[in-house]
Amino acid sequence: QVQLVESGGGSVQAGGSLRLSCAASRYPYKPYCMGWFRQAPGKEREGVASIYTGGGSTYYDDSVKGRFTISQDNAKNTLYLQMNSLKPEDTAIYYCAASWVVRPCIATAPDFNLWGQGTQVTVSS
C-alpha cells in the first residue's frame, strides 16, 4: 500500500527557514499532481502549493508566493517544500498529498486521493 511520510517540521523564529520532505513508497501508477496543504488550529485545510509531476509546472497560494518553493525528485519519489521568510501565520500542520485526477494541478483538496500524516510547523514572533 502506498504511503506518504512527511518530515522536516519544527519550530523556528519568524524570518527563518524550514524544508519539508514527503517520501512515498513505490507508486503503482505515478500521481498526476503532488501538493502541500496546511491546517491551522480552528481553520480549514488550505492548499499551499502543488506541482505537476509530468512537467514540473507549479502553483502557489498568494500567501506563500515568493517565500515557498515546491520541488520534486522523481527518482526518489520525494516531494519537497522549501519555506523561507517564515511568518507566525504560517504556523500549521503541513500535509503532503497525491492526486491521480487529471485536472489543473492547483492544490484543490478534493482532487487529492492520498494524504500523509502531517508535520507540525511552528513559527514564533
**pLDDT at residue 29 in the model:** 84
Structure confidence by residue, pLDDT tens digits, 30-82:
899 999 999 999 999 999 999 999 988 999 999 999 999 999 998 899 999 99
Structure confidence by residue, pLDDT tens digits, 97-124: 999 999 999 999 999 999 999 999 999 9
Round to whole Å and give the CA distance between 95 and 21. Answer: 10
Asked if residue 28 has pLDDT above 90, the reply is no
- Which phi-psi region, left, alpha or beta, contains residue 62 (left: φ > 0; alpha: ψ -120 to 50)? alpha
